[in-house]
Amino acid sequence: MAAEVEGKKQSWVENTRAYLGDIRSEMRRVTWPSRKQVESTTIVVILSVFAFAAYFKVVDWALQETVVRAQQALLK
């Protein structure tokens, strides 16, 4: 049984070569987006980031005002 396992072991060099060969094979199958697709999705992401930042700024401000007013009301 142990002899069978030792016979199947490969060196790290062989494993690395096989891994890199698999990567190369997979990369050939990838469908890459066009430049126009990349530009349009990048614009969408940037606009989404700014929209979410503005939203969270408003929510943060509203929560801050609520906490400050509650604190002032409790301390009076």
Say how far apart CA 52 and CA 45 lie, in whole Å.
10
Q: Which two tokens stand for residue 23?
A: 């990567």
Residue 30 has φ and ψ, to the nearest 5°, of -70, 135
pLDDT above 80 (res 29)? yes
Backbone CA torsion sign across 39, 41, 46, 50: positive
Taking the complete model, does pTM exceed 0.85, yes or no? Answer: no
Q: What's the confidence (pLDDT) of residue 7?
A: 54
If one counts every other C-beta atom within 10 angstroms of the C-beta of residue 38, the result is: 11
Q: What's the confidence (pLDDT) of residue 33?
A: 95
Give the pLDDT confidence of 46-59 residue by residue, as tens digits.
999 999 999 999 99
